[in-house]
Copies of this chain bind each other. A is one copy, B any other.
Amino acid sequence: MLKQIMECVPNFSEGRDKAKIEAIVDCFRNREGVILLDYSSDSDHNRTVVTVAGEVEPLKEAVVCAATKAKEIIDLRIQRGQHPRMGAVDVIPFIPIKNVTAEDAIEVSKEVGKRIWEEVGIPVFLYEKSATRPERENLAKIRKGEFEGMAEKMKSEDWHADFGYDAPHPSAGVVAVGCRMPLVAFNVNLDSKSLEETTATAKKIRHIGGGLHFCKAMGVDLSHRGLMQVSMNMTDYTKTPLYFSYELIGMESKRYGAHIVESEIIGLVPYDALYACAEYVLMCEGKSADEIKELSKHDIIAKARDYLKIADFSEDQVLEVLLDKRNNA
């Protein structure tokens, strides 16, 4: 059992050469306190996304190791792929999960950023919650122009690196390092026949439409399954719980005579995101907060799954469950 859990999801600009991919991923293997959860490569994108979690200190070492390896074996002057990129290691988000705060993750991102410049020689932009100015919060704005445009872009005072010279590394480019909150991909499927009505619901419940603060949403046509979907990114479940979106979607769908059939969680979800939902519904059923704390992880997950009607859900999608399993493997 790890005392603290920081997640990291670094993206590398190599998705074709298996030997190179394994050489990078090896940095996250056989390292006390670091657990490799997943990695997946896309040859069209020519990109590999690694999902890893662990305690702060060994995780920092693993990330610096992987950045060093990426610089050695990836040359952006010849790399081509469908995914936009500006660096051999393109982006390194640190995500606080358990017994670490966002402030801790910001601090870690700055330490790692500094080391990537000083020890690896790749200039670093701090992004998202670690950004040093508002226009650097958005990764897309930093990456605009990509590797090929970066030398010119970095001459401008607005785009000097946070760590490093004001020019990209000749073959490895630059990298964005920062803290972001865990993102939960949460979809709610409706027995609706109207994409227009579903999109109207999505627009009302999302932040820019006047809805929930940490919720992005759009309508998706699943008419081949006889359904419509409100597809969401919950960008901070610690503040906007999943059940707020779920209940608002149910409520707003009522005006169109539509109902929630099921929901989906894509990829991993932190345990606390499910706990908040289970706690809510159990309290509504009369249980006290203290009684709920006594329940097993298994019971909490099952309660959240039943309440939110999460379809095709495996306990292994719960970050902490997967971590425990990998840790004991």
Contacts and interface: CB of A to CB of B under 8 A. Distances in A.
Contacts of A284: 254-255
14 contacts: A207-B213, A208-B213, A209-B239, A210-B236, A210-B241, A211-B212, A211-B244, A212-B213, A247-B247, A248-B248, A254-B283, A255-B280, A255-B283, A257-B286
A247 B251 contact: yes
A interface residue count range (under 10 / 10 to 19 / 20 to 34 / 35 or more):
20 to 34
Point out which of A210, A248, A254 has the most chain B C-beta atoms below 10 A from its C-beta: A210
Interface string A205-223: 0011111111000000000
Nearest to A240: B210
A211 B213 contact: yes
Contacts of A212: 210-213
A165 interface: no
Interface in A170-228: 204, 207-214
A244 B252 CA distance: 9
Given A210-B238, A210-B239, A211-B244, 20 more contacts: A204-B244, A208-B213, A209-B213, A209-B239, A210-B212, A210-B213, A210-B214, A210-B240, A210-B241, A211-B212, A211-B213, A211-B240, A212-B213, A213-B213, A247-B248, A247-B251, A248-B248, A254-B283, A255-B284, A257-B286
Interface string A243-278: 010011001001111000000000000000000000
Contacts of A238: 210
A286 B255 CA distance: 8
A236 B209 CA distance: 11
Interface string A283-327: 110100000000000000000000000000000000000000000
